[in-house]
Amino acid sequence: MASVEQALASDRVIGITTVGRSSGRPRRIEIWFEQIDGRYVPGGAVSGSV
């Protein structure tokens, strides 16, 4: 888990790519995270990434 915390300390945006079940095409979204009370929680999608 330490590597995730280190990554989020330098960049709070994580890109996730999934593959469509029917289409087979990749779809990428970016989600930003906020640190609240020492824990990282997802904040939402980055504008223009969905």
- Give yes or no for residue 2 having a pLDDT over 70: no
Question: Per the domain annotation, does 33 fall within a domain?
Answer: yes
Residue 32 lies inside a defined structural domain of this protein = yes
Q: Establish if 16 belongs to a structural domain.
A: yes
| Residue 35 structural domain | 2-45
pLDDT at 49: 47
Between the alpha carbon of residue 43 and those of residues 12, 22, 33, 39, the distances in Å are 10, 28, 5, 12
Average pLDDT of the chain?
Answer: 82
Whether pLDDT at 43 is above 80 = yes
| Exposure b/e, 9-29, CB count within 10 A at least 16 = b | eeeeebeeeeeeeeeeeeeee
What is the total count of domains within the chain?
A: 1
pLDDT per position as a tens digit, 12-42: 888 889 999 999 999 998 888 888 898 888 8
Checking if the pLDDT of 8 tops 60, the result is yes
Q: Does 50 reside within a domain?
A: no
pLDDT of amino acid 32: 87
